[in-house]
Amino acid sequence: MSFFLRTNYQIYHATHSPQTFFYKYPVQSISQLASPPFLSIYLTKNQSIRLPGSYSSYSKMASHIVGYPRMGPKRELKFALESFWDGKSSAEDLQKVAADLRSSIWKQMADAGIKYIPSNTFAFYDQVLDTTAMLGAVPARYNWNGGEIGFDIYFSMARGNASVPAMEMTKWFDTNYHYIVPELGPEVKFSYASHKAVAEYKEAKALGVDTVPVLVGPVSYLLLSKPAKGVDKSFSLISLLDKILPIYKEVVAELKAAGASWIQFDEPTLVKDLDSAQLQGFTKAYSELESSLSGLNVLIETYFADVPAAAFKVLTALKGVTAFGFDLVRGSKTLELIKSGIPSGKYLFAGVVDGRNIWANDLSTSLSLLQSLEGVVGKDKLVVSTSCSLLHTAVDLVNETKLDKEIKSWLAFAAQKVVEVNALAKALSGHKDEDFFSANAAAQASRKSSPRVNNEAVQKAALALKGSDHRRVTNVSARLDSQQKKLNLPILPTTTIGSFPQTVELRRVRREYKAKKISEEEYVKAIKEEINKVVKLQEELDIDVLVHGEPERNDMVEYFGEQLSGFAFTANGWVQSYGSRCVKPPIIYGDVSRPKPMTVFWSSTAQSMTKRPMKGMLTGPVTILNWSFVRNDQPRFETCYQIALAIKDEVEDLEKAGITVIQIDEAALREGLPLRKSEHAFYLDWAVHSFRITNCGVEDTTQIHTHMCYSNFNDIIHSIINMDADVITIENSRSDEKLLSVFREGVKYGAGIGPGVYDIHSPRIPSTEEIADRINKMLAVLETNILWVNPDCGLKTRKYAEVNPALQNMVAAAKLLRTQLASAK
Ligand SMILES: Nc1nc2c(c(=O)[nH]1)N[C@@H](CNc1ccc(C(=O)N[C@@H](CCC(=O)N[C@@H](CCC(=O)N[C@@H](CCC(=O)O)C(=O)O)C(=O)O)C(=O)O)cc1)CN2
Ligand SMILES: [Zn+2]
């Protein structure tokens, strides 16, 4: 009898001889798995296993996974969600896809031998929004009338609906994941309104998997929320603890009744710079919960950075808490705190397997670290874990059939990380899998010594940049004058951020070209037609500075990654960014260089179609860095300088080709800001420097734009000014125009600035009046002659039916104000 067998890195065709599987040959394509039988068992190469008894009966080692990607290996959840939103499938269909995904994830972890398997890390949109639903904290505008929160209220909060805008969405710490920001105030009535955590626990249990239910901890929940509209900005969110804890108690009681023996509270805000009042919130919350939690093992999970000493002290003194989880990849200083001060008798969940990256773990180094920790907390109290939820890494390397073999051997995605965690736990318990460890050691050695990683010329050029400054010689106001002479733009010039809708047809063209189903000629023709359509549309709309629409790009980072040396890319390495939207971060494995121009052909083609200025469109070095999986064998700034040099070459080639406005997007500059304030200055210094390197060599008459989205800039406004761009467009409308407050407070901004006039992440179409109103608010704090009018961000996720009227209204609003300003003179 023959089977397919999944190992950690490969799918094998296997034969079954009475009690043992033997590998026969590697299966080349995943499509061969179409017909059963297919056994999902994780094994290491050259290892055979005995079935049935021995495999399932060996006792589970002390291993734990903080959380797991929810989209599915082929983005099954994405397609199910979008089909449901489009009215093409039912709520039951969506529930079924979700249940299947959850069940396969739980079984996969159970099969791999993980002891502490998380539940409730699944979400239809976002785990913070799930918590808002659990607490019944639905803003009044959604007209919720109590009862269990269903899809319509839940998705209205996430995405808005025809009559009500969505809740704010913002970056989850320093990741590319976005969460829905709770809107709270003294008037909010909390109630237990979503039983999802308990339902998931029971669902797993029914499948034979006893899980650790995961909740966003009460203190982090409050610290990640914002005062609702109309609530005083100085309102103390933490003061709401008294109101939400009773609901947490209800949830805990229900989980206990359902049989849970562990519970995990994610309290990642513990890694931030908290003040003593905020820290006291933890003490208060967990003392309050102590009696409800009795009888349960309670894990407080932290991640993404070091836990500061003061927070560590508070954390380890919490009542009723039996276990602490730490990120030991990004939080190496926490290690010293653990060694010198973890209370005895508590469990240590040691996050040694990186949840933020795709590199295979250096198992022997991790094992030594874990062994040293055993000496600190005791053998029976050490649990091997991931540094954070695996939500932030790709799902399964097994689906990467086209990836270069050598590079593949250096990698581990979520499914492989689960195996690594377990291998480490087994090794600790004296059952080290020597084959697995030696294969891993060989891969580590090959990565260190591979000549493909090094490019000496690039290293030298990047090294030469350090320590020196790079800026344009003329100051920004003089440059703007020279540019205006050339561009002759009206006041309140209108523009868009770059991308236009990515239609099904467009995706098909790109896909078929990639799969070599259509010729280069046909592809170029189709893309040119698309650009022409977008150009004509913008001319009809009477937009002043045009874009080509980015139809040739799958993604603003991946597109450049595909063309730069030192990058590898995956076929299925998707990571959730928000809701159903995913990104496929390229992998930077070596020194970066630009073999040839990347965008010049498309930009000059687009410019030839119009007399209006056409913006060249590039992604900046910091954003390419922050939205890629970055090599971990050299400091990040070194990689960033290398990318900056490659983009500089592109900027100069665009200028030579006659492009006079060049936008260099730094959408992710703010997001890369370290979580700890003490590290901000160093990061901002090299990040801003990298940006300036890209355009320090252009003529005064070449207008450099940059764009940023989803960020709070108020704390880094001086660095933004220091980027010295001629024009910046910034997301603004979905965060209550917080951005404008910095100018209200008197910060002088002399360059062009376009705070977004409408939210592009919602299907809702803003009216002319609404947009005019927004522009007026901006004019109250910004000089008329520097203000630009543009949407918040690119339009690629929208449909033309939304984009056309929205832009029409935007241009109408700009014209309305121009007339008003002219007559007011
Ligand atoms: N990297 C990055 N991060 C970002 C942003 C961004 O634009 N890029 N924007 C901000 C908001 N986040 C966003 C993240 C994703 C998307 C987005 O639209 N993602 C697309 C995927 C984009 C993509 O790469 N699409 C490819 C791949 C198409 C595809 O789905 N192909 C199928 C079919 C392949 C086949 O049949 O052969 C597949 O791979 O399964 C393309 O269009 O060319 C999606 O989820 O739908 C938008 C905003 C913040 N972070
Ligand atoms: Zn943007």
Q: Is 510 in the pocket of ligand 1 (CB under 6 A)?
A: yes
Ligand nearest to the CA of 527: 1
> Is the Cβ atom of 77 under 6 angstroms away from ligand 1?
no
Active site residue 761: yes
The pLDDT, as a whole number, for residue 445 is 96
Length of the chain counted residue by residue: 825
In this prediction, residues 593-599 reach a mean pLDDT of 98
Atom of ligand 1 nearest to the CA of 796: 18
Cα 677–chain centre separation: 21
Tokens 């890195």 belong to which residue? 9
Provide the pLDDT confidence category of residue 467 given band limits of 50, 70 and 90: confident
| Residue 620 CA from chain centroid, whole number | 17
Residue at 654: amino acid letter: L
CA-closest candidate to residue 766, choices 156, 85, 139, 160: 160
Ligand 1 pocket test target in 503, 562, 583 with most atoms within 8 Å of CB: 583
Give the Cα separation of 216 and 165 in Å (integer). Answer: 25
Contact present, 104 and 415 (Cβ < 8 Å): no
- For ligand 1, is residue 509 a contact (CB within 6 Å)? no
Q: What percent of the chain has pLDDT over 70?
A: 92
- ipTM entry: 0.91
CA of 731 to the centre of ligand 1 (A): 20
When pLDDT is cut at 50, 70 and 90, the band that residue 721 belongs to is very high
Whether 379 lines ligand 1, by a CB cut-off of 6 Å, is no
Question: From the CA of 501, which ligand is nearest?
Answer: 1
Backbone torsion region of residue 170, taken as left when φ is above 0, otherwise alpha when ψ lies between -120 and 50, otherwise beta = beta
User: Given 64, 548, 707, 761, which residue is catalytic?
Assistant: 761
State pLDDT tens for residues 195-220: 999 999 999 999 999 999 999 999 99
Flag whether pLDDT at 4 surpasses 70.
no
Strand 575-578 with 581-583, pairing:
antiparallel
604: enclosing H helix or E strand = helix 600-607
Q: Residue 600 pLDDT > 80, yes or no? A: yes
DSSP 567-578: EE--SS--EEEE
Amino acid letter for position 347: Y
Residue 353 zone, left/alpha/beta (φ > 0; ψ -120 to 50; rest): beta
pLDDT in tens, 26-41: 333 333 333 333 344 4
Regarding the beta carbon of 557 and ligand 1, being less than 6 Å apart is answered yes
Strand 382-386 to 587-593 pairing? unpaired
CA of 710 relative to ligand 2 center, distance in Å:
7
Return phi, psi of residue 629, to 5°: -85, 115
Whether residue 507 has its Cβ less than 6 Å from ligand 1 = yes
Q: Which residues surround ligand 2, an ion (CB under 5 A)?
A: 667, 709, 793
Cβ 353 under 6 angstroms from ligand 1: no
pLDDT at residue 368 is higher than 80 = yes
Closest atom of ligand 1 relative to the 794 alpha carbon = 7
Rounded Cα gap, residues 339 and 385, in angstroms = 18
Distance of CA 788 to the CA centre of its chain: 28
* Cα–Cα separations (whole angstroms), residue 761 to 171, 557, 667, 733: 14, 19, 15, 10
How far is Cα 143 from Cα 101, in angstroms, rounded to an integer? 31
Q: In this predicted model, what pLDDT tens digit does every residue of 537-590 receive, in sequence order?
A: 999 999 999 999 999 999 999 999 999 999 999 999 999 999 999 999 999 999
The residue whose C-alpha atom lies closest to atom 38 belonging to ligand 1 is 572
CB 176 less than 6 A from any atom of ligand 1: yes
Q: State in Å: Cα 482 to ligand 2 middle.
A: 27
**pLDDT for position 99:** 98
d(CA 582, ligand 1 centre) in Å: 5
pLDDT tier, 747 (very low <50, low <70, confident <90, very high otherwise): confident
Q: Provide the 3-class DSSP secondary structure of residue 242.
A: helix
Ligand 1 closest atom vs CA 74: 40
Residue among 177, 577, 711, 762 to mutate when testing ligand 1 (max atoms within 8 A of CB): 577
- Can you point out the beta strands (E) in 634-750? 661-665, 703-708, 727-730
Give the CA distances from residue 5 to residues 206, 496, 714, in Å, rounded to whole numbers and listed in that order. 26, 50, 53
Ligand 1 contacts CB of residue 670 (under 6 A): no
Which ligand 1 atom sits closest to the C-alpha of 578?
Answer: 12
The contacts of residue 679 (CB under 8 Å, 6+ apart) are none
714 in contact with ligand 1, CB cutoff 6 A: no
Quote the tokens at residue 535: 């150009």
pLDDT tens per residue, range 163-189: 898 999 999 999 999 999 999 999 999
Residue 687 Cα, ligand 2 centroid: separation in angstroms? 18
Q: What are phi and psi of 154, to 5 degrees?
A: -60, -50
Angle CA 246–248–252, to nearest 5 = 115
Candidate from 499, 555, 626 with most ligand 1 atoms within 8 A of CB, to mutate: 555
Query: Residue 743 has what pLDDT?
Result: 82
Mean pLDDT of 328-354: 94
Per-residue pLDDT for 53 more than 60? no
**CA 667 – ligand 2 centroid, Å:** 5
Work out the average pLDDT over 459-463. 91
Q: Whose CA is nearest to atom 42 of ligand 1?
A: 554
Q: Work out the end-to-end distance of the chain between its first and last CA atoms, rounded to an integer number of angstroms.
A: 88
User: Looking at ligand 1, which residue's alpha carbon is closest to its atom 12?
Assistant: 577
Cα distances (angstroms) measured from residue 820 to each of 22, 321, 769, 808, 813: 80, 63, 13, 18, 11
Gap from CA of 742 to ligand 2 centroid (Å):
20
Q: Does the pLDDT at position 45 exceed 50?
A: no
User: Ligand nearest 576 Cα, by number?
Assistant: 1
- Tell which one of 559, 581, 617, 670 to mutate to probe ligand 1, the residue whose CB is within 8 A of the most ligand atoms: 581
Q: Which ligand is nearest to the CA of 728?
A: 2
Residue, of 4 and 144, whose pLDDT is higher = 144
Which residue has the CA at smallest separation from atom 47 of ligand 1? Answer: 581
Distance 561 CA to ligand 1 centre (A): 14
- Residue 710 scores a pLDDT above 90: no
Using CA atoms, how far apart are residues 278 and 263, in angstroms rounded to an integer? Answer: 23
Q: Model confidence at 761, in pLDDT bands (50, 70, 90)?
A: confident
Determine contact, residues 753/721, Cβ cutoff 8 Å. no
Average pLDDT for the chain: 91
* Spatial separation of the C-alpha atoms in residues 449 and 446, rounded to whole Å: 5
CB-ligand 1 contact for 584 (6 Å cutoff) = yes
Q: Quick one: 819 exposed, middle or buried, by C-beta within 10 A (0-12, 13-18, 19+)? A: exposed
191 lines ligand 1 (CB under 6 A): no
CA distances to 500, 530, 548 from 533, in Å: 10, 5, 9
Q: Answer yes or no: is the C-beta of 797 below 6 A from any ligand 1 atom.
A: yes
Q: If pLDDT is split at 50, 70 and 90, which confidence band does 124 have?
A: very high
Pick the ligand that lies closest to the CA of residue 793.
2
- Cβ(532)–Cβ(525) under 8 Å? no
For ligand 1, is residue 554 a contact (CB within 6 Å)?
yes
Judged by DSSP in three states, 233 sits in coil
User: What confidence tens digit (pLDDT) does each residue in 68-118 have?
Assistant: 999 999 999 999 999 999 999 999 999 999 999 999 999 999 999 999 999
Q: Give the residue from 558, 538, 632 showing the smallest Cα distance to 598.
A: 558
pTM assigned to the model? 0.90
Contacts of 36 (CB under 8 A, 6+ apart): none
CB 338 within 8 A of CB 326: yes
Supply the residue whose CA is at minimum distance from atom 35 of ligand 1.
511
Query: What is the crossing angle of helices 76-85 and 151-159, to 10°?
Result: 100
Residues ≥6 apart with Cβ < 8 Å to 819? none
Q: Is 301 exposed, middle or buried (0-12, 13-18, 19+ CB in 10 A)?
A: buried
User: What is the per-residue pLDDT for 6?
Assistant: 56
* Residue nearest to ligand 1 atom 27, measured at CA: 554
The pLDDT of residue 741 is 81
C-alpha 39, offset from chain centre: 32
Predicted local confidence at residue 18, as pLDDT: 31
Identify the residue whose C-alpha is closest to ligand 1 atom 33: 511
> 502 CB under 6 A from ligand 1?
yes
